[in-house]
């Protein structure tokens, strides 16, 4: 019976195992490494029994560094609280685990200094590849890392960083949303979005929205960024005259929460007088009013594809930079059925 405490087990060394089994330290190293076949069955059995009795746990990091392999993948996240980020991260982590890698996640919290510190930390961990979802303000550090190891961008491209990119087909998603609203009879559309801070996906959605609305002669569109004046600006929009029924198009899950909360706070019935469609499909969407119509992103597939791109690069693929744009899927609920029933 193994009666060692966890603290005692953590102090057990390879030499302790070798002495307990009556073998050399090199034999123990072969047993826990990739050369177990070089040992006789009797020697392997003694080492296995010694490991079990002593509760020995190999230092996987040290072993990896010795071989030049850590099987660690880094992931730099701009905002780990964002539901989209969590969903994509889960897809990446699942794919990592399936291929024998571990994921090290660093959250910059949209702070440039945090990003700089995390990039330095990830380099010190000897990660084998990096998946990036951030503004990329530290371009020099990112490019230096990219020269050392493979890198894949998720959702947000970084100018002057020649790297694979996995994300949503943003123009097509905006078209899908606007076409749906138009078919349902809405003519006065307000795009609710987080601030345009240079995030490529936000910029693409805003620009496509403006371009498409400019081409619709029977409709009008405007853009409202989330800030402390959201409620007052929303009230002005609701009270204004326009070409027809009004609807909100929320550019992501964060905007959907802010927009829905603002509608409640200004006393607008959900969703009798105004329609609402939101990019992303979050668990709470079906629970609000008659349900929020959504443009679902295939986040699990996107996360898995980001890792797959990285894995190909790790295995020597030096082909042209790839951009994988996934399509959004329309999930219609009650928030866009108020006009035509």
Which CATH number does the domain housing residue 159 bear?
A: 3.40.50.2300
Q: Is the domain of 202 the same as that of 290?
A: yes
1 inside domain: no
* pLDDT given for residue 26 in this prediction: 87
* pLDDT given for residue 36 in this prediction: 76
191 inside domain: yes
Residues β-bridged to residue 164: 152
Residue 61 has pLDDT above 60, yes or no: no
* Residue range of the domain that includes 119: 70-168+300-325
Q: Determine which of 10-24, 165-179, 284-298, 319-333 has the lowest per-residue pLDDT on average.
A: 10-24
Please state the domain count of the chain: 3
Higher pLDDT, 6 or 119: 119
- Whole-angstrom distance, CA of residue 257 vs CA of residue 259: 6
63 inside domain: no
pLDDT band at 32 (very low <50, low <70, confident <90, very high): confident
* pLDDT given for residue 28 in this prediction: 86
What's the whole-number average pLDDT of the chain? Answer: 89
307 inside domain: yes
Q: Is the domain of 115 the same as that of 131?
A: yes
Q: Is the domain of 78 the same as that of 225?
A: no
86 inside domain: yes
Do residues 336 and 185 make contact, with C-beta atoms less than 8 angstroms apart? no
Beta strands in 200-292 (DSSP E): 220-225, 246-250, 274-279
To the nearest whole percent, how much of the chain has pLDDT over 70? 92
Residue 69 has pLDDT above 80, yes or no: no
276 inside domain: yes
pTM for the whole structure? 0.80
Q: Write the pLDDT tens digit of every residue in 129-172.
A: 999 998 788 888 899 899 999 999 999 998 889 999 999 999 99
Q: Is the domain of 81 the same as that of 109?
A: yes
In terms of Cβ atoms closer than 10 Å to its own Cβ (0-12, 13-18, 19+), residue 222 is middle
* pLDDT given for residue 106 in this prediction: 94
Cβ atoms within 10 Å of 151's Cβ, excluding its own: 24
Higher pLDDT, 262 or 138: 262
Q: Is the domain of 263 the same as that of 216?
A: yes
Higher pLDDT, 330 or 29: 330
Q: Is the domain of 152 the same as that of 190?
A: no
228 inside domain: yes
149 inside domain: yes
- Whole-angstrom distance, CA of residue 105 vs CA of residue 303: 13
Residue 307 has pLDDT above 50, yes or no: yes
Q: Is the domain of 115 the same as that of 199?
A: no
Q: Is the domain of 38 the same as that of 79?
A: no
CB pairs under 8 A, 24+ apart, for 33-36?
33/63
Q: Is the domain of 150 the same as that of 108?
A: yes
pLDDT band at 55 (very low <50, low <70, confident <90, very high): confident
Q: Is the domain of 111 the same as that of 188?
A: no
Q: Determine which of 48-62, 254-268, 301-315 has the lowest per-residue pLDDT on average.
A: 48-62
Higher pLDDT, 329 or 99: 329
Q: Is the domain of 174 the same as that of 134?
A: no
């Amino acid at each position: 019976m193994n009666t060692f405490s966890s603290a005692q087990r953590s102090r057990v060394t390879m030499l302790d195992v070798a002495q307990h089994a009556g073998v050399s330290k090199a034999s123990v190293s072969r047993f826990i490494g990739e050369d177990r076949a070089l040992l006789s069955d009797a020697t392997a059995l003694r080492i296995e029994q010694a490991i079990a009795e002593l509760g020995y746990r190999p230092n996987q990091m040290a072993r990896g560094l010795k071989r030049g392999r850590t099987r660690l993948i880094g992931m730099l996240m701009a905002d780990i609280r964002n539901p989209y980020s969590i969903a994509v991260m889960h897809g990446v982590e699942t794919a990592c685990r399936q291929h024998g890698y571990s994921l090290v996640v660093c959250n910059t919290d949209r702070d440039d200094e945090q990003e700089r510190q995390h990039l330095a930390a990830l380099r010190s961990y000897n990660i084998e590849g990096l998946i990036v979802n951030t503004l990329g303000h530290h371009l020099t550090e990112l490019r230096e890392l990219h020269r050392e190891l493979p890198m894949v961008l998720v959702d947000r491209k970084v100018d002057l960083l020649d790297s694979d990119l996995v994300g949503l087909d943003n123009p097509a998603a905006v078209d899908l949303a606007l076409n749906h609203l138009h078919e349902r009879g809405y003519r006065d559309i307000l795009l609710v979005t987080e601030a345009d801070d240079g995030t490529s996906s936000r910029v693409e959605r805003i620009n496509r929205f403006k371009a498409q609305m400019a081409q619709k002669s029977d409709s009008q569109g405007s853009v409202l960024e989330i800030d402390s004046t959201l409620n007052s600006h929303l009230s002005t929009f609701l009270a204004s005259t326009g070409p027809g029924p009004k609807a909100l198009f929320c550019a992501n899950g964060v905007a959907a929460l802010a927009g829905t909360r603002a509608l409640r706070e200004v006393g607008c019935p959900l969703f009798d007088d105004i329609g609402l469609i939101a990019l992303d499909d979050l668990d709470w969407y079906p629970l609000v009013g008659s349900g929020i119509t959504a443009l679902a992103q295939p986040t699990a597939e996107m996360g898995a594809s980001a890792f797959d791109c990285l894995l190909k690069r790790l295995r020597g693929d030096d082909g042209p930079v790839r951009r994988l744009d996934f399509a959004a899927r329309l999930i219609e609920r009650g928030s866009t059925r108020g006009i035509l029933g």
